[in-house]
């Protein structure tokens, strides 16, 4: 079996941009980076100690024992079918929404999932020590390799199955992606009315801090939570020129009403 201390990446996006250096710094040497865009792969290798750009998915002569697919979800299965691996290699993907079965046609018996629960942007540094890492594997060899890698960079490592991970990912979409989009809408409303987004920052910080402190169920405030229909009507009237925003406001407000004012 090739050495699990050597790692190769397939993909050079936001996650790989942070995960590859984290592994390098933890002693798991990243040897190769493959990307459909070689310039992106080259940019990532410049952040690493001795990695080289790989021109194809033929890794048959690679010294790596662990191969990490960090690409868009819809490309995982095709890559798993096309990649050529050394004997006994461990192949994993990093998706929160795709099952372990997405690797079922890979040319190795050792497959798994290595899912960091965090949002990644190339411009924002992250500390992997505090990021929860969720692993899944189909062989003891894969589990041993993934556990060693995960525990070398994070203090929060947990084994979960594909269905649990799907629920976790959906929850994360609500908590992170949807929340961020709501902030984008807030910013746009302020800009349209010649107001600064800075005015909302203390409120945003307190909202998140309170939700984490006492729990979001108990932290909820606002006209929908109180059942104040007059204020809700005024807000929807304010948004009457934008049907999409009006509908978003109405749908979310109704959901809050149903949750806190069930009668």
Each domain of the chain, given as residue ranges in start order, spans 3-160, 165-260
Residue by residue, DSSP assigns 101-157 as: GGGTTSSSSEEEEEEE-S---TTS---GGGS-EEEEESSHHHHHHHHHHHHHH-S-E
Average pLDDT over every residue of 195-205 = 98
Average pLDDT over every residue of 29-40 = 96
Q: For a pLDDT cut of 90, what percent of the chain falls above it?
A: 97
- Is a pLDDT exceeding 80 seen at residue 185? yes
- Is a pLDDT exceeding 80 seen at residue 16? yes
Residue-level pLDDT at 51: 96
Burial of 167 (0-12, 13-18, 19+ CB in 10 A): exposed
Given the candidates 1.10.1040.20, 1.10.3300.10, 3.30.2130.10, 3.40.50.300, the CATH classification of the domain at 165-260 is: 1.10.1040.20
Q: Is the dihedral of CA 23, 24, 28, 31 positive or negative?
A: positive
110-123 tens-digit pLDDT: 999 999 999 999 99
Residue-level pLDDT at 263: 67
Average pLDDT over every residue of 64-73 = 97
75-88 tens-digit pLDDT: 999 999 999 999 99
CA 249 from centre of chain: 27
- The overall average pLDDT reported for the chain is 96
- For residue 75, the 8-state DSSP code is G
Residue by residue, DSSP assigns 80-95 as: HHH-B--TT-EEEE--
Q: Which two tokens stand for residue 119?
A: 């949002």
225-247 tens-digit pLDDT: 999 999 999 999 999 999 999 99
- Is a pLDDT exceeding 60 seen at residue 257? yes
Q: What CATH superfamily is the domain 3-160?
A: NAD(P)-binding Rossmann-like Domain (3.40.50.720)
Residue-level pLDDT at 261: 82
Cα 53 from Cα 46, distance rounded (Å): 10
CB atoms within 10 A of CB 245: 16
């Amino acid at each position: 079996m090739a050495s699990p201390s050597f790692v190769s990446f397939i993909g050079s996006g936001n996650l790989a941009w942070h995960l590859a250096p984290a592994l390098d710094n933890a002693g798991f040497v990243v040897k190769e980076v493959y990307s459909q865009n070689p310039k992106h792969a080259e940019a990532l290798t410049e952040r690493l100690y001795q990695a080289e750009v790989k021109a194809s998915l033929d890794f048959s002569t690679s010294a790596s024992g662990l191969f990490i697919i960090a690409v868009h979800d819809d490309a995982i299965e095709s890559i798993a079918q096309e990649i050529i691996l050394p004997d006994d290699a461990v192949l994993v993907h990093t998706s929160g929404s795709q099952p372990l079965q997405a690797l079922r046609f890979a040319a190795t018996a050792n497959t798994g999932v290595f899912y960091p629960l965090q949002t990644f942007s190339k411009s924002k540094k992250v500390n992997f020590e505090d990021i929860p890492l969720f692993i899944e594997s189909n062989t003891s060899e894969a589990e041993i390799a993934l556990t060693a890698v995960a525990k070398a960079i994070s203090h929060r490592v947990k084994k979960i199955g594909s269905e649990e991970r799907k629920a976790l990912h959906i929850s994360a979409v609500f908590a992170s992606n949807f929340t961020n989009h709501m902030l984008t809408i807030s910013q746009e409303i302020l800009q349209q009315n010649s107001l600064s987004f800075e005015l909302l920052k203390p409120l945003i910080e307190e909202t998140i801090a309170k939700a984490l402190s006492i729990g979001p169920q108990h932290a909820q405030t606002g006209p929908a939570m109180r059942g104040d229909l007059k204020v809700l009507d005024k807000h929807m009237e304010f948004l009457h020129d934008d049907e999409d925003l009006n509908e978003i406001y109405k749908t979310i407000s109704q959901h809050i009403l149903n949750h806190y004012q069930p009668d």
